[in-house]
Amino acid sequence: MKKKKILSLIMAVCMTGMLFAGCGAGSEQGTAASTEKNETAAAPTQTDNSAAEEVKADTSETSAEGTVTIWYYWETEGHQEALNHIIEEFNGSQSGLTVEAKYVPFADFKKQLSIGASASELPDLVILDNPDHASYAAMGIFADLTGRFDVSTYYDGPVNSCTLDGKLYGVPFGSNDLLLFYNKDMLEAANCEVPTNWDELLATAQACTTDSVSGFAHCALQNEEGTFNFLPWVWSTGATSYEINSEGGIKALTFVQDLVNSGAMTKEAINWTQGDTMHQFIAGNLAMMINGTWQIPTMRADAPDVNWGVAPIPADVQPVSGLGGENYAVIAGGNEEGAIKFLEYAVSGDTCLYMMQQMGYISSDSTIAEGQFEGDEVYQVFVDQMKYAQARGPLPEWPEISDAISLAFNKVITGDSDPVQAAEEAQKTIDSIIK
């Protein structure tokens, strides 16, 4: 599809207000994604040039040529430097293509993509939050990469976030997931083991709760960031994101209600971002929390004396985790072959590993991720749980569905609705969208 042909569809969608949700979060998490999840860099590691040499030989034989422009929204200097580093390596590895990167602020990213379409000034490649992917793909803005890019070794969750109607519209860039963080000293003082199921989590959280410490919490904001943290409860029952008014959905809402009513989970969580929750944990105000990979570098740097560990999220009937992260997408009608050639380089062995280590991400390619954090017990648990990490959506209307879900659990936490009422209301909205 040529760029001009997608103008009317994009503008129509934008006029309806479907300006999508962010990576691990909605309107607020859009900012949180860039200021917390996407801005926490792990220590750089040295890589050899074997992957670069392989791609160098490969790109010298390609017919792809011209300029490839990438748009990204990272504000962290280290992230930008890492991307520029691999771009410089790629540009120096062959003479047919020149890749350039442009920073677009997260708050303006979607608007600029729409404006760029109207002026036929779209980039050739974008890096975006995975919950947004289906919305763009449905507008026809992304090139179909089915059969053009091999993702057979990638984790299912990241690939699903790039897939719509059975077609591949992107390549996962890097991933992260959610786990249970726990204070080892607090659990030991309460004579508790690390919980593995819901009953154990409730009992342990109650045992660890004191006048100054809440036993458990996770971000419960009424936006995409809160939905990101709540959905593992639903999925663990066997229900999907679209089945809130089901036995599993009601069970998940009831479990959150039980945590709050017992005093084991503070109601203040409805005001906490994932970063806020982490700070409460390292300050000693929480015994356990649900949070993600991206918090590890900050916790290790800012709270070296806190004795903490991570474990899989306590399960109901099946193990689950929530998928966060970002994807690459090739713009339809642009320099598609050039963009794909750069992607082949960017996700290859040591080049991919360099980016993931610089940014604190897990490679979406399981063959790379399995050896990425060798010797690091904490990161390795996150890698192990990637096989259970589920993508939100993927559905073009996901932001509206996410709003209905976050409203439901917020009403339950505050006591404005009971789980059955909240589930019924959420389901009405969901059904009106997907039917």
- Please state whether the peptide bond connecting residue 394 to the residue before it is cis, i.e. omega within 30 degrees of 0: yes
pLDDT value for 394:
82
Cβ neighbours around 60 below 10 Å, total? 11
Taking Cα atoms as reference points, which of 285, 223, 220, 287 lies closest to residue 255? 220
Q: Hey, what's the torsion of the CAs at 46, 127, 277, 221, to 10 degrees?
A: -170
For 282-304, the pLDDT digits (tens) are 999 999 999 999 899 889 999 99
pLDDT value for 63:
65
Do 3-176+324-390 and 178-322+396-434 fold alike per CATH?
yes
Alpha helices (H) in 102-182, listed in sequence order: 106-118, 133-138, 156-161
CATH architecture assigned to 3-176+324-390: 3-Layer(aba) Sandwich (3.40)
The dihedral of CA 406, 409, 411, 414: what is its sign?
negative
For 170-216, the pLDDT digits (tens) are 999 999 999 999 999 999 999 999 999 999 999 999 999 999 999 99
Cβ neighbours around 416 below 10 Å, total? 11
Topology annotation, domain 178-322+396-434: D-Maltodextrin-Binding Protein; domain 2 (3.40.190)
Cβ neighbours around 42 below 10 Å, total? 20
pLDDT value for 117:
62
pLDDT value for 23:
38
pLDDT value for 37:
36
pLDDT value for 120:
67
pLDDT value for 24:
37
Q: Which residues of the chain fall below pLDDT 50?
A: 1-62
Counting Cβ atoms within 10 Å, is residue 254 exposed (0-12), middle (13-18) or buried (19+)? middle
pLDDT value for 227:
96
Indicate the pTM of the whole model: 0.80
Domain ranges for the chain: 3-176+324-390, 178-322+396-434
What lies within 8 Å, CB to CB, of 92 at 6+ separation is: none
